[in-house]
Structure formats: structure tokens, C-alpha cells
């Protein structure tokens, strides 16, 4: 698979400061090295930030119409290269082809379209009494993105920042840099001015840390683990930077008595296993009342067994490998911990799936009789592992749902949507789907508590990259 040998800085592909220091890109299904990319250093980051600061004045001064035209060309580039995007995501992430097409390819186009719609209508100026308040670009943006949704997370940060008038330096996850390089090529082909967008590949501990702490960066937007988010926030705080942190989750899927149990369980299992369970907003805790509990466990086990791991290039595959050997072992260890702490293993387990000698595969796993204090009910696993918990009544269900350090997403099911909505309004989480409500790329996405600060998507995502100036008359 073709990869660039340098970083995209100031409108061109430039050699890395240390040309021989490379990162292997590994296909999770075959364990083969499919490409290498530069392991960026602090010097590469400094060059990228310098280019962004040099471009800041001119990009800030562009009109709404000029930004709309450039970002429309970029959106059209994403839409016009779906086959290449899908093939790249399948190869470096291991996402099943159908999922790659429906989510990893199509969702970024939908998000980009939403950004264009917001930009076209956004009011950058308003009257407040005797004041005129202006929404101004917040400055150079550091975008540090994860591997689980490599293109979506790039688009959700970079396009709103550019729409706001901010130049960007992107440091993508080291597991999935090829998708980021594709995006940089789309930016180049769209004709954005040099320095408005810059890409440095590298390790989070080196390039990511240098970018988050760089004095020339004004805003840091990071998506990843809560542990790394704390370090990012601390580094940004040294220079009084603004931060937006979209971090971990341990979301609850609450099935209230009288709900359509079959649909709720089926959708819940699918949500928990989406992208191999490598989704920060996954509903990894299913909460079921005592009267429905045994039936729900039986249903979940049967549904989970339909997610047989397999070759991600096969269109019939629903569950691909995890992204790396490290991630595979992490998930298997959580499964072993669940068994050791007394949860009932209904299906799955830590053993390798039968017939898959190569690849970073994990069996789809369902635990029953999970107690709220168990490790698998408290910590983010990031794999195809579902915990089913029992509750006595609605108040007990709410106590369990909110009894977590996280608060990113969730689901509520009830025969009466108003009952579900009333329950959801008391959940301490940023986004809740009622009876399987569809994802909305214009709605705010972000979390409470340890799930982060700030919001992405829609006008909320644009506002993260704006600051206000008030003139009094």
C-alpha cells in the first residue's frame, strides 16, 4: 500500500527531520506490515506549527464564501474517493468492509456536509445591547486523533477548525496513519493555501506530546483515552491553551419494563460490538429489570454468536480483528478478570476464535450476573465485550447507569417514548438515544465527568474553535 515518506507541511510533502525513523503500519487481519510512515519528532512538529502560524493571518482573513468554496471541494474529494478510503481503513484498522463503507467512508462525508451547512448560516457577529460581539478564530489548532474512527475523527476536528478560520496541525494515531495521509492529499487537491492544514505522523508520546505542549498552538482538540487526556490537558495548561477532550466511556443501555425487548437487546448488542467494540460511545453495560433479565441474557447470547470474527475484506463479515496485538491482549485480560471476579461467561471468552491463527481477533463475549463494582462494569474495555446487569426498579437502574466515572453516551428503551425521555434526562451523560434513535451528525457529541470537556459536530463543534470579542458603542 502506497504511503508518503514525509510529512505534509506548508502545502507540500516534506522529508522528516529524522528520515530513517519509521513506524510500521500493520494489517490487523494478517499481521503483515503493509507500509511505513515517518515517526515525527519535536522538530517536525515545530515546522508544522510554524507553517500554521504563518498561514493564520491570511486564512483568518478569508471570507465565508472563500472558506465554503475550499471546504466544499474538500468534501467532494472525500465523496469522490470512497473506494480508496474504504480499502485503506479495511487494511490498516481491520474494519469489516460493509462497516467501512457505511460508517468509515460515508459518515465523514455527512459530517463534512453538516459543517458546510453550519458555516453557510453561522452568525459571526451579533448585537447585544450597546455591544457588537464578534466570533473570531481562536488561533492555531492542534488536532490529535485516535485510530478507531480514523477519518471521521479527522473530519470532525479539522473541518470545523478550518471553517472557523483556524489553521490546523494534525497528529493522527500511529496505528492508522494512511487514512490521515489520504486526507492530506484531499486537502492538497482542494487547493487550500499552504500552511492552513499540516500533517505530522508519529508516536503520541513524542509527536503528540510535542504538539500539545507547543507554545505556538492556541487550541488542542484531542480524542482518546481519559488517561492520555489528562496528560494532554496538563501539557496544554502549562501555556494556558484551550482544550477540547473527547475521552472514554462506559455507557449504559437501559431497557425499561414494557420495552420491545428483542429489538432493544438486538440493537444493544450491535452497538456494543460496533467496530469490534472499539467505540468510545459503545453501550457496553446493558441494564435489564429482574422480570426480563433471563430472557435478555438468552437473547444477547444468541445474537452475539452471530458476530463470528472473520476476514474484514469479506462483505459477509460483521466482526473484524482488533487494531493491534496490544489491544487484543488488553481485551482478553479484561475477559479473564471478568471470570475471576465472578461474572457469568455466557458466550465468548479469552481464547482465540477457532480457525483464525493469524490476526488480532477476539471472541464476541457476553457476561451476565455482572455487579456494578466489577472491573468489567467500571473500566472501558474497547473490545467486543458486553456486561449485562440486573436492576430492581427505575431508581436502581438510574443509580447503576450514573454510577460510573464516565458520561459519554447511552440508550433508553420503553414502550412510552416520553417515559424513556424522562429517564434519559436524569442520566449524567452527553448523548442518549431513545428507542434506537439514529445518530445525528449535527447534534453535539461529547461527555460529562471523565468523558471529557467540549463538544464536537454541528454548530457546537464550530464554536469550539471560536473566541469572542466585544465592542461597546
Active-site residues, by number, are 246, 280
Give the integer Cα–Cα distance in Å for 348 and 261: 22
**Close Cβ partners of 416 (under 8 Å, ≥ 6 residues apart):** 258
Return the H-helix or E-strand segment holding 75: helix 64-80
All three cell numbers of 275: 467496530
Burial class (CB in 10 A: 0-12, 13-18, 19+), 82: middle
Torsion on CA atoms 287, 292, 294, 298, rounded to nearest 10: -80
Bridge partners (DSSP) listed for residue 197:
168
Give the integer Cα–Cα distance in Å for 208 and 43: 12
Helix pair angle (150-164, 64-80), 10° resolution: 160
All three cell numbers of 371: 455487579
Query: By C-alpha distance, which of 64, 71, 77, 73 is closest to 120?
Result: 64
In the three-class reduction of DSSP (H, G, I as helix; E, B as strand; rest coil), residue 458 is classed as: helix
Give the integer Cα–Cα distance in Å for 113 and 68: 11
Bridge partners (DSSP) listed for residue 136:
467
Whether 453 and 297 have beta carbons less than 8 Å apart is answered as: no
Give the integer Cα–Cα distance in Å for 163 and 435: 34
Give the integer Cα–Cα distance in Å for 432 and 423: 10
Q: What is the largest CA-CA distance in the chain?
A: 74
Give the integer Cα–Cα distance in Å for 64 and 202: 33
Using alpha carbons only, give the angle 326, 327, 333 rounded to the nearest 5 degrees.
Answer: 90
Whether 187 and 9 have beta carbons less than 8 Å apart is answered as: no
Amino acid at each position: 500500500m502506497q504511503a508518503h515518506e514525509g510529512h505534509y507541511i506548508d502545502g507540500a510533502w516534506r522529508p522528516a527531520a529524522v528520515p530513517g525513523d519509521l513506524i510500521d503500519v500493520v494489517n490487523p487481519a494478517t499481521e503483515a506490515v503493509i507500509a511505513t510512515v515517518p515517526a515525527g519528532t519535536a522538530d517536525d512538529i515545530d515546522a508544522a506549527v510554524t507553517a500554521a502560524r504563518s498561514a493564520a493571518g491570511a486564512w483568518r482573513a478569508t471570507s465565508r464564501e472563500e472558506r465554503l468554496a475550499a471546504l466544499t471541494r474538500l468534501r467532494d474529494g472525500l465523496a469522490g474517493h470512497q473506494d480508496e478510503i474504504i480499502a485503506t481503513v479495511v487494511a490498516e484498522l481491520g474494519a469489516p468492509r460493509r462497516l467501512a463503507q457505511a460508517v468509515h467512508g460515508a459518515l465523514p462525508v455527512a459530517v463534512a456536509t453538516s459543517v458546510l451547512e453550519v458555516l453557510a448560516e453561522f452568525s459571526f457577529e451579533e448585537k447585544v445591547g450597546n455591544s457588537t460581539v464578534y466570533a473570531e478564530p481562536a488561533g492555531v489548532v492542534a488536532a490529535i486523533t485516535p485510530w478507531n474512527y480514523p477519518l471521521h475523527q479527522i473530519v470532525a476536528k479539522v473541518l470545523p477548525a478550518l471553517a472557523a478560520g483556524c489553521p490546523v496541525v494534525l497528529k493522527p494515531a500511529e496505528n492508522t496513519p494512511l487514512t490521515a495521509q489520504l486526507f492530506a492529499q484531499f486537502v492538497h487537491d482542494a487547493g487550500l493555501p499552504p500552511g492552513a492544514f499540516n500533517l505530522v505522523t508519529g508516536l503520541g508520546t513524542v509527536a503528540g506530546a510535542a504538539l500539545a505542549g507547543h507554545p505556538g498552538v492556541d487550541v488542542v482538540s484531542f480524542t482518546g483515552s481519559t488517561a492520555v487526556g489528562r496528560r494532554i490537558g496538563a501539557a496544554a495548561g502549562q501555556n494556558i491553551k484551550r482544550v477540547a477532550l473527547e475521552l472514554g466511556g462506559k455507557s449504559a443501555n437501559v431497557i425499561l419494563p414494557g420495552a420491545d425487548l428483542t429489538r432493544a437487546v438486538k440493537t444493544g448488542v450491535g452497538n456494543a460490538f460496533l467496530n469490534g467494540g472499539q467505540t468510545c460511545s459503545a453501550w457496553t453495560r446493558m441494564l435489564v429489570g429482574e422480570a426480563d433479565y433471563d430472557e435478555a441474557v438468552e437473547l444477547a447470547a444468541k445474537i452475539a454468536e452471530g458476530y463470528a470474527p472473520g476476514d474484514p475484506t469479506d462483505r459477509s463479515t460483521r466482526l473484524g480483528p482488533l487494531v493491534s496485538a496490544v489491544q487484543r491482549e488488553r481485551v482478553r485480560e479484561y475477559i479473564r478478570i471478568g471470570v475471576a471476579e465472578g461474572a457469568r461467561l455466557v458466550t465468548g471468552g479469552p481464547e482465540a476464535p477457532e480457525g483464525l491463527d493469524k490476526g488480532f481477533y477476539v471472541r464476541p463475549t457476553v457476561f451476565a450476573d455482572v455487579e456494578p463494582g466489577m472491573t468489567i462494569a467500571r473500566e472501558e474495555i474497547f473490545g467486543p465485550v458486553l456486561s449485562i446487569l440486573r436492576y430492581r426498579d427505575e431508581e436502581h437502574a438510574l443509580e447503576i447507569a450514573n454510577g460510573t466515572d464516565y458520561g459519554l453516551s447511552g440508550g433508553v428503551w420503553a414502550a412510552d417514548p416520553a417515559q424513556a425521555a424522562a429517564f434519559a434526562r436524569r442520566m449524567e451523560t452527553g448523548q442518549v438515544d431513545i428507542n434506537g434513535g439514529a445518530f445525528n451528525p449535527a447534534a453535539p457529541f461529547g461527555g460529562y465527568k471523565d468523558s471529557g470537556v467540549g463538544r464536537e459536530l454541528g454548530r457546537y463543534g464550530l464554536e469550539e474553535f471560536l473566541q469572542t470579542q466585544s465592542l461597546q458603542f
